[in-house]
Structure 1
């Protein structure tokens, strides 16, 4: 088998701008051109997905760049079919780079006779020929255990910490990190530790899915610049309501840092009209035109951390080193 010389990238249609950005960053790090493998990923008239790879990938270390965001089913099938095409083309190793892992919210049985779809998707990815998964901020940490292959889960909190330290450099002493629910306390605490800020919680109770009965603030937010941190923002109902409650309890400003901006339905309109001063998301999901045009939504790049993580996997060096702000700082220098 030929020696693996360079990592090769191939992208589906889910987030081409991010795929191109990752290739550009890898070119910068490597000091030579790193491009996307020439391939076509298209649909027949009946919406069947077809993949054809135009370059030789025999014995190569392949990285498929494809978040499984909306439309989740189409993007997931693209990922699976690309993996099968590469496996049948004798690629030496196939790594799925999934910035946003769809179906992650179906990670357990909440009621009788419901599926654990995250596990089903994990099985499908493995069976398609993927040998490693690289993702960011899984909705639940146990999803890593659903796979029988290595899973590297990157975190957005070091990127958020760098951005907060830059944006609030003159008033860091007034910043307070907020968890929008009890289940997200660990994530919020991690960010709070990184920026040396206090922590508060908004406890919400639902009468039924999609409706929030009441919210209680646990902690004193009076005079604070509150930063709500979470992994997913879908319709933004909870987020905007939490911002209102925090302002009612004496907060001077409310900002939100969310890893995956799903932002479906009325989300953009709600965020635009809300009391939140800013919503910061990453580009793990391709931004729609309304998201890109929203005046109080800002997008942070993930290409630098993904490019470095891919190179670390290829080199056989530590991926967890990217969890440290000291390591990530130089990678994001001049970007944030």
Structure 2
């Protein structure tokens, strides 16, 4: 049993809406109100981060909610400073809840004299006093091994499976799950198994970073409703090109399910003009006004799964139970009812 009466959560400025939604979901699950710890997270005039915690956290089980999304350096620094403030305030345990783990794409040396920044970030988090990390859909699973502390990596695929079953009810036999590159096959296969759909791959070849030279579809997508699955959508160039290639190969429709909608310029414009009928993302990254205004983009919530994961960690229960679609159905009650 936990030694504290309740889990306490603190949020930075990266995604306060998600933090508030997680607190509300935790309140529903526990039957008692869970409030965000009152803090001040500000910048000095020169850009330095300053954090002040207004509540006693001595001996408490603390959860810091902060995605390290754009501006990645500012949000990462906020996370580190908050962790240091809690450690110096004698918190019993500090867990970093990082829905979107920035710098995850720098997980290996791709050429000589380049860094492995994901490992550097892991070292910084541990050095700041963080004792556990909770995240979602790490770009590379091996990043968990960069830490010498427990890392719980949640998956969006069970939530996406619920959404697909609801959105494509009566058309499930038409679906084809597509990986936009060979490296994402395992992620696409996971969703394909959950919805009992076949799998196809778009093989891409790059001449230089950010530029796709050629795409080839592996598998027959003729008259299929294709669902592209990936973890990150940044400028949407590869995604839109993959959708075009699928349509040229005979697909009936193309939809996309992406966990982290980075959506840097000119992503929204490209998506609006794309042959894709819809793009589904999670709220792991706070949506900009432009993203919200783009009619082809739909956002599914992660607050229910993160709230339950936090409660499971606090109470010493299994987090891996949340990997199953059946487990998530009651957590997402009402959202995907028949």
Superposition TM-score, scaled by structure 2 size: 0.98
Tell me what 1:286 maps to: 286
Q: What's 2:155 paired with? A: 155
Runs of 4 or more consecutive aligned structure 1 residues displaced over 3 Å after TM superposition: none
1:106-142: CA deviations, max 9, x gaps? 0000000000000000000000000000000000000
CA-atom RMSD, angstroms? 0.8
> Aligned equivalents of 2:34 and 2:169: distance in 1?
36
Instruction: Give the Cα–Cα distance (whole angstroms) in 2 for the partners of residues 170 and 196 of structure 1.
Output: 14
The residue that corresponds to 1:307 in the other structure is 307
Paired with 1:90 and 1:318, the residues of 2 have a C-alpha distance of 26
1:151-196 deviation line (CA, Å, top 9, x unaligned): 0000000000000000001100000000000000000001000000
State the SS of the aligned residue for 2:74: helix
Measured in 2, the distance between the counterparts of 1:334 and 1:218 equals 38
Distance 2:17 2:156 in 1: 19
Deviations 1:49-68 (A, max 9, x none): 00000000000000000000
What is the distance in 1 between the residues matched to 2:208 and 2:90?
50
CA deviation map 1:288-336 (0-9, x unaligned): 0000010000000000000000000001000000000110111112124
Match of 1:88 in 2: 88
Q: Which residue of 1 aligns with 2:28?
A: 28
1:188-199 to 2 correspondences below 5 Å: 188-199=188-199
| Alpha-carbon distance in structure 2 between the residues aligned to 1:304 and 1:45 | 37
Number of the residue aligned with 2:11 = 11
Find the aligned partners of 2:82 and 2:217 in 1 and give their Cα distance. 47
- Secondary structure, aligned partner of 2:295: coil
Q: Find the counterpart in structure 2 of residue 323 from structure 1.
A: 323
Report how far residue 5 of structure 1 moved: 1.3
CA deviations on 1:202-233 (whole Å, 9 max, x unpaired) are 00001111111110000000000000000000
Q: State the secondary structure of the residue aligned to 2:206.
A: strand
Residues 1:56 and 2:56 are matched in the alignment: yes
Whole-Å Cα distance in 1 between the matches of residues 31 and 214 of structure 2?
Answer: 54
How far has the Cα of 1:4 moved from its partner?
A: 1.3
- Residues in 1 aligned to 2:112 and 2:88: alpha-carbon distance in whole angstroms: 40
Distance in 2 (CA, whole Å) between partners of 1:273 and 1:23 is 37
Matches within 5 A, 1:245-284: 245-284=245-284
Taking the aligned partners of 1:3 and 1:134, their CA distance within structure 2 comes to 20
Q: Distance in 1 between matches of 2:27 and 2:3?
A: 21
Q: Which runs of 5+ in 2 are unaligned?
A: none
Give the 5 Å matches for 1:189-228. Answer: 189-228=189-228
Match of 1:187 in 2: 187
Using structure 1 for the length normalisation, give the TM-score.
Answer: 0.99
Provide the C-alpha distance between the structure 2 equivalents of 1:264 and 1:129, rounded to a whole number of angstroms.
Answer: 32
CA deviation after TM superposition for structure 1 residue 3, in Å: 3.5
3-state secondary structure, aligned to 2:256: strand
